[in-house]
Structure 1
Amino acid sequence: MDERVRLTAWVRGRVQGVGFRWWVRSRALELGLTGSASNLVDGRVEVIAEGPRKACEELLDLLRGGSTPGRVTGVAERWAEPRDGLQGFIER
């Protein structure tokens, strides 16, 4: 069984107002992840995803992959133990 993890990723670039959070939500749900995608006041988007490590790694690869809405110029990540209790995947 794949280890469950929590991924927090901060995505910078032109990622607000371009459908980026909706795109992240769609990819995360396809991968069976729970969590959220939120606009930050500094223009970044914070992505929190919980689920199997492999699925979280796939989401991270997609965030960096170049086929996102807008233009991603960088992604910082942090891995942690899952907190659980998340249901679905929401945009904030």
Structure 2
Amino acid sequence: MSKTVRVSIYGRVQGVGYRAWTEQRARQLGIDGWVRNRLDGSVEAVFSADDSLLDRMLTDCQAGPSVAKVDRMVEQSCDAPETGFRILPTC
């Protein structure tokens, strides 16, 4: 069953390739959604996939690319995005 979550990711996550890494990982796993930087220094993403793939993506996001340092992630349910995965402009 497909599930969709919006995730806010806090820590050293901007200026370290986090969005590009997230896009690449999501596409590898076949996850729909998007990722963008936020003006407050966080990264926001929406992921839509079956439970096992979603859990895997969230676990991977907690680690992030090697130069990132994720302090915390906040998840909430949301509506499903369009198909595919993309990087959105900062908001």
TM-score range, shorter chain: 0.7 to 0.9
SS in 2 for 1:9: strand
Q: C-alpha distance in 1, partners of 2:10/2:66? A: 12
CA RMSD after TM alignment = 1.6
**How does 1:12-91 map onto structure 2 within 5 Å?**
12-65=10-63, 67-80=65-78, 82-84=79-81, 86-91=82-87
Normalising by structure 1, we get a TM-score of: 0.85
Normalising by structure 2, we get a TM-score of: 0.85
SS in 2 for 1:50: strand
Unaligned runs of at least 5 residues, structure 2: none
Q: Percent identical across equivalent pairs?
A: 28
Unaligned runs of at least 5 residues, structure 1: none
> Stretches of 4+ moved more than 6 A in 1?
none
The AA in structure 2 aligned to 1:91 is I
C-alpha deviation, 1:83, in angstroms? 2.7
